[in-house]
Amino acid sequence: MSKTATVYTNDKKRPQIKLTISGLVEKFVIVKPKVVRLNGRSGEPLKSSVTITPREKYPFKIIKSEAKKGLNIRFKLEEVKKEKVTEYLLTVENVMNKKGRYFDTVSLKTDSKIRPEIQIKVYGNISEEKKDVKK
């Protein structure tokens, strides 16, 4: 990763200095997908799952999970043991039964000092219930 910043000084010979900071950024966790999108019709079951995998170099446990609002979603967090690593499976389900949009965040508290919280954004877009067409 590389970022450049301009520093303005009161030095007449060098009123501006460009600084470039670069370094290697290691991932702490793999989150797939990064965002939950619950799109569909009212009355239909809408669910989506997210896999949270700690990197081997930065192991952690999720110790608490909560929705910021929790009005339109229900969620479940499961610990899944794999050969060398423990993954987490977050399943999010829509509970809104009318047309509309919403946004929420599921917050996952970890026992890590490096990253004590992981946030999963949840977007819901619910359309009207499908009406039966009579012939």
Model confidence pLDDT, tens digit, residues 78-124: 999 988 888 999 999 999 999 999 999 999 999 999 999 999 999 99
What is the CATH architecture of 26-127? Sandwich (2.60)
Q: What's the pLDDT score for residue 1?
A: 85
Question: What distances in angstroms separate CA 128 from CA 30, 43, 67, 100, one per listed residue?
Answer: 35, 9, 25, 8
Question: What distances in angstroms separate CA 124 from CA 75, 104, 105, one per listed residue?
Answer: 14, 8, 11
Model confidence pLDDT, tens digit, residues 25-65: 888 999 999 999 999 999 899 999 999 999 989 999 999 99
pTM for the whole structure: 0.79
Three-state SS sequence of 44-87 = CCCEEEEEEEECCCCCCCEEEEEECCCCCEEEEEEEEECCCCEE
Domain spans of the chain, in order of start:
26-127
